[in-house]
């Protein structure tokens, strides 16, 4: 019997693309997680573009659903590409919607972040913009190990399998550190 405490991690992918490398990376992180973490990936593709006029009439059901999933999760795992040197519109849109709730669901959530791109920098610029945005929302993100998966097309197979051993290793290390981080943040903010 597994008596170890299990933390529910909500995965949020910034790419809506069917064959997204970031979605593949998120799934791989889920496979490489220690036994104490359980990943469930949500979708952000059905959120409307943020508009205060829409909000005034009432939060759309897809938006409220995401809010509830975030509130229910012990921690968040973000995987996002970089679009034009910053956070892509789908993820920024989801964050903008979430930021309108009171209480604001991101507040005091532990999180880890990774990014994958076709270019050599692995989305470092976008990932650091994301970390800065999350700072403003009270998210406590794991600083290290950092994961920037550059030249993603050379590291994932056509089936989405991550074949690059050094990347698998650092992802395993990040997930191990993430479990410890979640425990520490839970103690600090319970
Ligand atoms: C609108 C757009 C902007 C992009 N800007 C960047 C960029 O600034 N830096 C980068 O490394 N790749 C950029 N790319 C390429 C992405 O890294 C590549 O499409 C990657 O596969 C996206 O992640 P995904 O596979 O999870 O969808 C851009 C792609 C798009 C569609």
Quick one: tokens of 53? 């006029």
Q: Model confidence at 190, in pLDDT bands (50, 70, 90)?
A: confident
Atom 24 (ligand 1) nearest CA = 20
Q: Is the pLDDT of residue 168 over 90?
A: yes
Measured in Å, residue 171 CA sits from the centre of ligand 1 at: 21
Calculate Rg over the CA atoms of the chain: 16
C-alpha to C-alpha distance for 146 and 159, rounded to whole angstroms: 25
> Could you read off the pLDDT of 141-164 as tens digits, one per residue?
999 999 999 999 999 999 999 999
Q: Is the pLDDT of residue 5 over 70?
A: no
Atom 4 (ligand 1) nearest CA = 83
Q: Model confidence at 31, in pLDDT bands (50, 70, 90)?
A: very high
CATH architecture of 7-189: 3-Layer(aba) Sandwich (3.40)
Q: Are 35 and 2 in contact (CB under 8 A)?
A: yes
Give the pLDDT confidence score for residue 1 in this predicted structure.
44
pLDDT above 90 as % of the chain: 96
Measured in Å, residue 66 CA sits from the centre of ligand 1 at: 24
Domain boundary assignment for the chain: 7-189
User: Which residue, chain included where needed, has tokens 């992802």?
Assistant: 171
Mean pLDDT, the chain, whole residue set: 96
C-alpha to C-alpha distance for 181 and 7, rounded to whole angstroms: 11
How large is the average pLDDT for residues 68-97? 98
C-alpha to C-alpha distance for 19 and 23, rounded to whole angstroms: 8
Measured in Å, residue 184 CA sits from the centre of ligand 1 at: 34
Ligand 1: residues within 6 Å at CB? Answer: 15, 17, 20-22, 81-85, 116-119, 121, 123, 152
DSSP letter at 154?
G
Measured in Å, residue 33 CA sits from the centre of ligand 1 at: 26
Give the pLDDT confidence score for residue 2 in this predicted structure.
46
Ligand 1 atom, smallest distance to 121 CA: 11
């Amino acid at each position: 019997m597994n008596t170890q405490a299990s933390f529910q991690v909500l995965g949020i992918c910034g790419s809506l693309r069917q064959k997204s490398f970031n979605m593949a990376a998120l799934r791989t992180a889920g496979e490489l997680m220690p036994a104490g973490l359980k990943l469930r990936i949500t979708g952000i593709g059905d959120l409307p573009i943020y508009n205060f006029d829409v909000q005034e009439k009432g939060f759309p059901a897809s938006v409220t659903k995401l809010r509830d999933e975030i509130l229910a999760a012990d921690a968040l795992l973000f995987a996002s590409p970089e679009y034009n040197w910053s956070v892509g519109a789908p993820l920024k849109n989801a964050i903008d919607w979430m930021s309108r709730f009171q209480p604001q669901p991101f507040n005091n959530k532990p999180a880890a972040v990774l990014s994958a791109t076709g270019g050599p920098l692995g989305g470092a610029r976008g990932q650091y913009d994301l970390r800065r945005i999350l700072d403003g929302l009270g998210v406590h993100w794991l600083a290290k190990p950092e994961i920037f998966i550059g030249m993603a097309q050379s590291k994932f197979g056509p089936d989405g399998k991550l074949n690059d051993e050094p990347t698998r290793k650092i992802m395993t290390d990040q997930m191990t550190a993430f479990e410890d981080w979640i425990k520490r943040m839970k103690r600090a903010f319970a």
